[in-house]
Amino acid sequence: MIKDIIVTIFLLFCFSGCATTDNPREGGLFGGLYGMSTGAYEQRLKSRSKEVERQNENAEKLQQESTNLENVLEFQEKTLADEKQRVAQMEKDLAQIWKEIGQYNADSAQKKSQVASLQAKIQALQDRLKSQQTAISKLDRDGGCNADPIRCRMLEQERERLSMEFKKLSDYQSALSEATN
């Protein structure tokens, strides 16, 4: 019996030297018993759960930010498409004016001078319009309004100015047309 007690004490002494850890993949049987008895496993599980929860919150924030950025990009792409459509309409209107100018038959030197002046102004307007179209195309290739919002705003202002000038020229052309008929 003393022999059994000595063997038991010896075994306890040997096993007490084993390393213990709160990691369930390490430590063996005694490490596992140690982790369960001290609550280290539960503490590790809570810590991991908090980390997963934090990562999920970050993922939600990033998803929301991504959705917001997609909405902004969609709006800016629509604005750019609208600008392209307006420029195309202006080009169409300018082509119509050129057609009408070709039909006029100015009989006096003054009216011929006015027609030439109007043609020069329309040509200058067409050149500026082509320049704006080139700038819009370049802006579109570079990423649209999202890439350079200041440049996009400047192009919109220039388009508005050109539209007003186009209207004035169109009115002038209409008045000239009535005078020649």
Cα atoms in the 13 Å half-sphere on the side-chain side of 36? 7
119: CB partners within 8 A, 6+ apart: 101
Q: Is the pTM of this model over 0.75?
A: no
Mean pLDDT of the chain: 76
The answer to whether residue 38 scores a pLDDT higher than 50 is: yes
Q: Greater confidence, 104 or 173?
A: 173
Report residue 119 as tokens: 């043609």
Q: What's the pLDDT at 68? A: 93
